[in-house]
């Protein structure tokens, strides 16, 4: 029946190829920082994009940027996953996946990521989420504020404190 | 920088993973440049779906024939119906095909592409209606497009097997389908529709005008009984479904399903006519009303006050 209303469907266009290229690394790293696990990051990234595609009719261009909408989905996917796993950082399940760089670089990265995950695990969930959004997803404080409901200044304050804590422990 | 070590942990997804995911999405029909839906589409889809929902409750008990159509459904009123979208999604996921739930749908006319008109009155002539234009639109909006979608008819041959299967699967054993339904035929006529889009940059509002949709069906048919089955499937409890099924005038009331978690609805007055105002939780809404034998739908990223003001300014 919706084919009868094509004028409405033409109101907003999404360049999915461009969105995919730009946002895939950001979503993937959001989950890496959130979970500390590359294999799970791939899995949840896939779920996020598949959900975004199947739910594309719900995207409202006037209410949110596409990346904000996509990260809303990603966060829900992450919450569902963590709830199902009943743990926040499954470090023991970390797997190696193919990636650019030498094996030594890869191993160092993996080790550092796990180290960060261990440090993040000591923090409240909200702080873990902010770090994943800021450094994994490379979101601006304003975008993080829109996603989390915090004020932009509050986001900045919390992140500043968290970074100092992580820096001192690193 | 204090936080450089946090940036340094980023890594690009492996090319294999990126390719695999892209291929998977494309396999689901992802176009290289797909059209997203506008803010109005869920509501426009709902407006279209009301036909299917309401029509689904209106099946004849006698075979099609020259003298079979003794009564007619036309839209005069609108009524909102809350439903749980997750319940519907679950039913669809389990294989329930709602359009064919009550029988076989056979198009009597081939769908054609909408035709664009430069002038609203020309569009009205093409659709066979007198198009009314708003004397007031929100500042910044201008009429950008006028399209006419041709009329369309379909024949529905009832088959309650699927419906009974769904009722059984949901353990709705309090519902009894009317006897003598299988094999009976109804005719649905969807009129030509004039759709006007007003734009202000990326924002768009949609005004739709059409004659009432019609369904031919026999007099005396126990519509409330079938409606009760539909309402139970949609999630209403037994008492609520019975009360609603027996309180609605199914000959002239178009039921609009409203997702319970996304919107609210209320009856409003639109220049003397009863209307249904649906307000989305995230902003914007849709107004449906009928007057002078025509249906109107206005969907926009506007508040209730602006929607009503625009609707009441039609002339």
Task: Point out the residue among B11, B152, B202 whose CB comes nearest to the CB of A99.
Answer: B11
Main-chain dihedrals φ then ψ at residue B205, nearest 5 degrees = -125, 150
CA dist B160 and B158 (Å) reads: 6
Partner-chain contact A54 B28, CB within 8 Å: yes
pLDDT in tens, chain B (315 residues): 578 888 888 888 988 888 888 888 777 654 333 333 333 333 344 344 444 333 333 322 222 222 233 345 666 788 888 877 777 777 777 777 776 777 887 888 876 778 888 889 999 999 999 999 999 999 999 999 898 888 888 887 888 888 888 888 788 888 888 777 787 777 778 888 888 999 998 888 889 898 887 777 665 567 788 888 888 888 888 888 888 888 888 777 878 778 777 678 889 999 888 898 988 887 888 888 988 888 898 988 889 999 999 999 999
Task: Point out the residue among B5, B12, B40 whose CB comes nearest to the CB of A25.
Answer: B12
Chain B contact present for A4, CB below 8 A: yes
Chain B contact present for A168, CB below 8 A: no
Q: Which two tokens stand for residue B176?
A: 């009894």
Mutate to test the interface with A, among B20, B22, B38, B189 (most CBs of A within 10 A): B38
Mutate to test the interface with B, among A1, A2, A5 (most CBs of B within 10 A): A5
Task: Point out the residue among A13, A63, A116 whose CB comes nearest to the CB of B35.
Answer: A13
Q: State the pLDDT at residue B216.
A: 75
Chain A residues closer than 8 Å to B9 by CB: 32-33, 109, 112-113, 116, 135
Sequence-ordered list of residues with C-beta below 8 angstroms from that of B2, at least 6 positions apart, any chain: A163, A164, A167
Q: State the pLDDT at residue B309.
A: 95
| Closest CA relative to residue B121, chosen from B288, B292, B315 | B315
Sequence-ordered list of residues with C-beta below 8 angstroms from that of A70, at least 6 positions apart, any chain: A19, A23, A27, A48, A52
Q: State the pLDDT at residue B79.
A: 82
Q: State the pLDDT at residue A90.
A: 39
DSSP state of B236: -
Contact assessment for residue A130 and residue A159, using Cβ atoms and an 8 Å cutoff? yes
Chain B contact present for A149, CB below 8 A: no
Partner-chain contact A7 B282, CB within 8 Å: no
Sequence-ordered list of residues with C-beta below 8 angstroms from that of B19, at least 6 positions apart, any chain: none
Helical ranges in A11-151 per DSSP H? 16-35, 38-54, 66-85, 103-121, 125-131, 141-148
pLDDT more than 70, % of chain A: 71
CA dist B314 and B132 (Å) reads: 6
Contact assessment for residue B186 and residue B55, using Cβ atoms and an 8 Å cutoff? yes
Residue with tokens 């209106």: B58
Which residues does chain A have with pLDDT short of 70? 1-15, 57-64, 86-110
Task: Point out the residue among A10, A17, A29 whose CB comes nearest to the CB of B32.
Answer: A17
Q: Which two tokens stand for residue A41?
A: 């990051």
- The pTM for the full model equals 0.52
Q: Count Cβ neighbours within 10 Å for each residue of B92-102 and write b for 16 or more, e otherwise.
A: eeeebebeebb
Chain B residues closer than 8 Å to A163 by CB: 2-3, 6
Task: Point out the residue among B2, B42, B199 whose CB comes nearest to the CB of A164.
Answer: B2
Q: Count Cβ neighbours within 10 Å for each residue of B65-80 and write b for 16 or more, e otherwise.
A: eeebbeeebebbbbbb
Chain B residues closer than 8 Å to A25 by CB: 10, 12-13
Chain B residues closer than 8 Å to A56 by CB: 34, 36-37
Tell me which chain B residue has its CA closest to the CA of residue A16. B33
Task: Point out the residue among B13, B16, B193 whose CB comes nearest to the CB of A25.
Answer: B13
Mutate to test the interface with A, among B1, B2, B3 (most CBs of A within 10 A): B3
| Closest CA relative to residue B294, chosen from B310, B263, B270 | B270
Does residue B30 sit in helix, strand or coil?
coil
CA dist B258 and B109 (Å) reads: 29
CA dist B174 and B167 (Å) reads: 9
Partner-chain contact A136 B52, CB within 8 Å: no
Chain B contact present for A31, CB below 8 A: no
| Closest CA relative to residue B137, chosen from B209, B195, B198 | B198
Chain B residues closer than 8 Å to A98 by CB: 14, 16-17
CA distance A102 to chain B (A): 13
Partner-chain contact B282 A9, CB within 8 Å: no
Distances B178 to B60, B70, B162, B207, B246 between C-alpha atoms, Å: 10, 18, 14, 38, 15
Total beta-carbon pairs less than 8 A apart between chain A and chain B = 183
Chain B contact present for A60, CB below 8 A: yes
CA dihedral (B115, B118, B122, B123) positive or negative: positive
CA distance A136 to chain B (A): 6
Chain B residues closer than 8 Å to A170 by CB: 5
Chain B contact present for A169, CB below 8 A: no
Chain B contact present for A135, CB below 8 A: yes
Chain B residues closer than 8 Å to A53 by CB: 25, 28, 30
Sequence-ordered list of residues with C-beta below 8 angstroms from that of A137, at least 6 positions apart, any chain: A26, A27, A29, A30, A33, A71, A74
């Amino acid at each position: 029946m919706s084919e009868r209303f094509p004028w409405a469907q033409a109101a907003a266009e999404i360049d999915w190829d461009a969105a995919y290229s730009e946002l895939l690394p950001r979503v993937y790293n959001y989950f890496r920082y959130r979970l500390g696990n590359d294999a799970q990051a791939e899995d949840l990234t896939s779920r996020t994009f598949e959900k975004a595609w199947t739910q594309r009719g719900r995207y409202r261009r006037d209410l949110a940027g596409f990346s904000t909408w996509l990260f809303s989905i990603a966060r829900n996917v992450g919450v569902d996953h963590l709830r199902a796993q009943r743990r926040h950082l499954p470090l023991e399940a970390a797997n190696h996946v193919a990636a650019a760089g030498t094996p030594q670089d890869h191993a160092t990265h993996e080790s550092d990521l796990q180290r960060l995950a261990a440090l993040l695990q000591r923090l409240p969930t909200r702080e873990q989420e902010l770090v994943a959004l800021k450094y994994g997803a490379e979101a601006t404080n304003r975008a993080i504020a829109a996603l989390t409901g915090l004020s932009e200044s509050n986001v900045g304050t919390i992140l500043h404190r968290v970074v100092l804590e992580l820096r001192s422990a690193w | 920088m204090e936080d450089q070590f946090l940036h340094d942990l980023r890594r690009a997804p492996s090319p294999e993973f990126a390719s695999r995911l892209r291929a998977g999405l494309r396999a689901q029909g992802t176009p290289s440049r797909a059209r997203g839906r506008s803010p109005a589409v869920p509501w426009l889809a709902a407006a279209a779906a009301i036909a299917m929902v309401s029509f689904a409750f209106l099946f004849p008990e006698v075979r099609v024939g020259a003298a079979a159509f003794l009564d007619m459904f036309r839209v005069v009123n609108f009524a909102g119906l809350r439903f749980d979208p997750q319940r519907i999604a679950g039913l669809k996921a389990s294989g329930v095909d709602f359009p064919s739930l009550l029988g076989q749908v056979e198009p009597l006319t081939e769908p054609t592409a909408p035709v664009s008109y430069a002038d609203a009155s020309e569009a009205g002539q093409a659709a066979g209606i007198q198009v009314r234009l708003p004397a007031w639109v929100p500042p910044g909006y201008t009429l950008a497009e006028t399209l006419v979608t041709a009329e369309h008819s379909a024949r529905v041959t009832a088959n309650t097997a699927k419906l009974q299967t769904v009722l059984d699967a949901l353990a709705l054993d309090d519902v009894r389908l009317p006897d003598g339904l299988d094999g009976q035929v109804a005719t649905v006529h969807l009129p030509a529709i004039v759709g006007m889009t007003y734009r202000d940059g990326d924002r768009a509002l949609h005004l739709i005008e059409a004659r009432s949709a019609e369904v031919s069906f026999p007099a005396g048919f126990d519509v409330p009984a079938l409606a009760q089955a539909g309402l139970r499937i949609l999630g209403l409890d037994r008492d609520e479904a019975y009360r609603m099924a027996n309180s609605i005038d199914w000959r002239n009331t178009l039921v609009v399903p409203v997702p319970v978690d996304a919107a609210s609805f209320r009856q409003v007055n639109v220049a003397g006519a009863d209307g249904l105002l649906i307000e989305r939780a995230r902003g914007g809404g849709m107004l449906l009303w009928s007057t002078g034998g025509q249906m109107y739908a206005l969907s926009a990223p506007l508040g209730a006050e602006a929607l009503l003001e625009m609707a009441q300014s039609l002339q």
